[in-house]
Structure 1
Amino acid sequence: MVLSCFMGLRRRPCAAPRRTHFICGVSCSPDATRVTQITLDPVGYSGQLTPLISRLTQLTTLDLSDNYFFGPIPSSISSLQLNSLSSLRRLNLSYNKLTGFLPKLPSNLLEFALRGNSLSGYVSKSTFDGLTQLEVVELSANSFSGTLGAWFLPSLQQVDLANNSFISVEISKPAGGNSDLVAVNLGFNEIEGNVHGLNLNM
């Protein structure tokens, strides 16, 4: 199924006739000049994610969950590239058929969820560098593996890494000793022994 009301960036969906909301879940800014949200219903949308998504510089929410998108997450979603998604706050690509590795993420994210895909490889500490506002991380039910070294984000509240193949995870305390972290799920991995540094009573 394709998006009949949003066939691509070249057609400028916010242009005349001026509209700010579309049936398929695309929302535009009040002046109808920029796409600000894409929230698709779970009705079987499919295809690969286009690298041109990074041109939506005012996008705050991208929710394509519970559909049939496949292939890799475009590296252009990274906050390190020109015309990046610098305004993106919520990214939910859960329960699709995405493959490949986890790219560098936009620096202003509050929440990101990639549950129930076929993503693989290592999740390095550098993946989270610069994500100082991130509150929710949902990576369960993928094929991530290896060791996730010491990392901590002062704003982090929930972490779900269950149903992967991690062998070691270390979550360190912030320098001041205070944390908003309230929930961590590491079930159904290959972790042996204790999770270093994890203490929810900080």
Structure 2
Amino acid sequence: MVEQGLRAVYESNGWEIDLAQRELRSRGVSVPIGSRTFEILEILVRSGGELVKKRDLIDQVWPVATVEENTLHFHISAIRKALGADRELLKTVSGRGYRLLGIWTVRPATGPGHLLYPKESASAQPLASTNLPQPASALIGRTAEVEEISRLVRAHRLVTLTGAGRHRQDTARARGRS
């Protein structure tokens, strides 16, 4: 079994649920799903085929919000749509909850960008595209900064930028002082 602190990849019949990359893949190809939908899928796959009650899913995915069952139904439908022809992997137990069927094997998430690899290797693999809009105009003289921010956005769910922008020379001097 995978150690508690490490993120795992669950595999079954050509499907992969990569918890480190927060990605659903079909035969190695990424299948786009939203972050809440992925959280539901993660809870279901971690349950090991056991029934997960609707209320438990809602409480875990939306711990501080009041959410109706129809919101959960929307995300369950999104999982079924992502699974396509294998949609029967997600079983509804009427009035009670859901279970993810199949024999899911667990392996540690290894490879560039995963927690078992050094951080330097994360740049070795091309990163997934983001949902950021295309810029309205080009930034002049900020190529390195844009590349760094793009890399961070692809690698992390949340990136916060603060402070005023600096010139490249100021950035180099600021780094030299630390």
TM-score (norm 1): 0.19
TM-score (norm 2): 0.21
Answer with 1 or 2: which has the greater Rg.
2
Which gives a bigger RCO, structure 1 or 2 (Cα 8 Å, sep 6+)?
2
The answer to which structure has the higher helix fraction is 2
The answer to which structure has the higher strand fraction is 1
